[in-house]
Structure 1
């Protein structure tokens, strides 16, 4: 994700986060079937499930129902310090559909933006794919493989992001490395990404209460002393007006807690341990404003298939990742990715290190992607294993303008790389989006993995 995320939910009686396990609401993971394909194009359906991120869950005292976190403030008596808070507070189960607007049907996952629950109004959500055992995350290595899914984002306006991506989380959510984390992946713990987010309430099995400050523009969010970092592969960040595919890399392997300069906050953005900008391929930003959107070549007013291929240098699963290639399928037609139409750049249609270097030079952007190892580092993260994340969110920090409008807003919109989509720079304010588009929904379905060329029909 481009900005540091402030993902919000008013769950049950209060937004809450924790590491113990509560017993007031049963945790039942929604089932989701996915397909595993072979080189011959034969695909087998397997049963999996999704789990809600711990950041959305009700957090209360162990054995009781007193909130450990209310609004954007910790209870000082229950949470005087990180370790005491972890011992005192429990994450509870989730009412996925009633409270969070998360539903599944066969191979389809639907994420609703605003849900009026019995006790609360929930904003956005984030879920992870669990493995066959229903208690650990499914781990993906996509080197020399392709990943395919269908998406319906016709109901996602400017300012929203229906995202599908991979992050280098621990398979067990960190419970093995950090014994104070009793909830683990079964309750959606252990999140990390290249923005090194500080809004995660528990990191490394401890409450992020040190230096906690409530957000000035979000009554339910705040930031703590620590961030949580890891490699991130953004397969799909999109709304009906624009989309981007973006690898981000780090100098560390696996989920890593950061503090100070290592987090890359503010003016130290390019001094941290992760590449926050990434190397994005956004068709509009790369000069083709006719490719993706309502009524365009890839018509976002109806469902379509997104195919992402991870090519290695020697076409084996052990070779260095050298190219990320994108295809689309809609109405029975395979659609090649758009080509760059930027003065001074070759006509690239995929992500390679050469593309990334040319883009950074042409746009005048800092090239931390190359400095941190580029695509080879992304491939190394896949070898370690990455977790599938699907979410819907709005952006309290940058209004999603980095995805669908002109960004930064104080730059000349005609300068290469500044215009990223057709949305006005006045769009994306969370207050407006939440009040005007509460029914916004993204549907991800028909997820398939397999060797190159096995998951779709050409």
Structure 2
């Protein structure tokens, strides 16, 4: 569901490559987080932030010629998948100047539109690193919790400040794929439960063959391959709506898929792939409580607040619980108000009942459900912090009536207060260029150790 969005000139192009360039030094901004062992007992860790390689300048390894410009490949440098990996180098990033990414202390701010020297950049996707060549692998099950603060007060309809976990390789795929010489240092190896086909390199090779340019995104396209893995969406949100959503996969780790067999957002058959593209979501508005989350509501998105997610137990019986903390008050998640669906946490029983009540396709269970999600969380996952807009569905699945031709009073259709005409990327990018999200004060530890 993510894409490359910088509007590039002949000097700076946005792409995803596997050789490491030397034109600009890659310096990772620092960001601290805390590992807790008990309430009040937390140790500060010195992490680093890296920008995903799909946003970076990709050029010939011996010079400045672009391998990818707009949404087109250079047919000489990238005649096929293997030659593209051999001929093209991925370069370092000016985090603040080009991409609007600012890390300071325990805080990370992502700006939506950034006017750089050579390009206009839209959105970003970043990862937490352990060191300059390795992603931090967070183990969140069994009986663990993940907590962070967020300020999304100027994140309107159509935008998604997403903080989530995916089962990427810790080194970005360097060990598995010998042609990948850039690795985690340059943000390689992305995968998620949509099995995204807009990635320009997968498994150390280009995704050039069969590339189809997007009809409504001048910087994106879809290739013959996608990259699948388990995904735990801790937080997909703007100031109007939020959802917490596990996505299971039959194969947990990063796996390349082919064509429409990938399924997900980018394929003609959404449910054809290894992964569950829909997830089992808890969106308070969608679950019938329209007074819980938003500006001036119980969780007041006009100011900063704390988000706590607990993973209680293991296997199929794992429960995903949510709390908020604001103004010193611990706020339990809202209760479901949908007939036949009980509770305020995500369990196998909740998913069974919700899918039946909403009439949704139940691929979460088909792909291993809570048991496979627990395996992924226990095995270690990479933390992603991003900001994006949506060329496929205008983010209406998060914050509006979706599908748009359904009655919003039908259970499961109303997801937020945004108009069905909202979220068009061209409108959001012109009218909300100054939007941003700030993630801060990340804490990880045993249950009830990270908040109070």
The TM-score by the shorter chain falls in which range?
A: over 0.9
Runs of 4+, deviation exceeding 6 Å: none
Q: 1:137 aligns with which of 124, 135, 138?
A: 135
| Alignment check: 8 A CA contact 1:9 1:125 kept | no
Quote the offset at 1:149 in angstroms: 0.1
The aligned residue for residue 280 of structure 2 is 279
The aligned residue for residue 189 of structure 1 is 188
Q: Residue 247 of structure 1 aligns to a residue in which SS?
A: strand
State the alpha-carbon separation in 2 of the partners of residues 7 and 415 from structure 1. Answer: 35
Counterpart mapping for 1:15-414 below 5 A: 15-131=14-130, 133-143=131-141, 144-265=143-264, 266-313=267-314, 322-346=318-342, 348-414=343-409
Number of residue pairs matched by the alignment: 447
| Alignment check: 8 A CA contact 1:168 1:254 kept | yes
State the alpha-carbon separation in 2 of the partners of residues 246 and 239 from structure 1. Answer: 15
The aligned residue for residue 6 of structure 2 is 9
Say if 2:424 is the partner of 1:429: yes
1:137-177 residue CA offsets vs partner (Å, 9 max, x unmatched)? 00011011100000000010000000000000000000110
Q: Residue 359 of structure 1 aligns to a residue in which SS?
A: helix
Q: Residue 306 of structure 1 aligns to a residue in which SS?
A: strand
Which segment drifts farther, 248-257 or 259-268? 259-268
Which segment drifts farther, 356-365 or 320-329? 320-329
State the alpha-carbon separation in 2 of the partners of residues 50 and 125 from structure 1. Answer: 12
Q: Residue 455 of structure 1 aligns to a residue in which SS?
A: coil
Quote the offset at 1:229 in angstroms: 0.5
1:109-132 residue CA offsets vs partner (Å, 9 max, x unmatched)? 00000000011100000000000x
The aligned residue for residue 414 of structure 2 is 419
1:56-85 residue CA offsets vs partner (Å, 9 max, x unmatched)? 000000020000001111001100011111
State the alpha-carbon separation in 1 of the partners of residues 28 and 64 from structure 2. Answer: 22
Q: Residue 305 of structure 1 aligns to a residue in which SS?
A: strand
1:30-77 residue CA offsets vs partner (Å, 9 max, x unmatched)? 000000111243111111110000000000000200000011110011
| Alignment check: 8 A CA contact 1:360 1:367 kept | yes
State the alpha-carbon separation in 1 of the partners of residues 231 and 250 from structure 2. Answer: 12
Quote the offset at 1:16 in angstroms: 1.8
5+ residue gaps, structure 1: 314-318
Quote the offset at 1:5 in angstroms: 2.9
Q: Residue 270 of structure 1 aligns to a residue in which SS?
A: coil
State the alpha-carbon separation in 2 of the partners of residues 321 and 31 from structure 1. Answer: 37
1:88-137 residue CA offsets vs partner (Å, 9 max, x unmatched)? 00000000000000001100000000000011100000000000x22100
State the alpha-carbon separation in 2 of the partners of residues 110 and 321 from structure 1. Answer: 36
| Alignment check: 8 A CA contact 1:245 1:280 kept | yes
| Alignment check: 8 A CA contact 1:7 1:393 kept | no
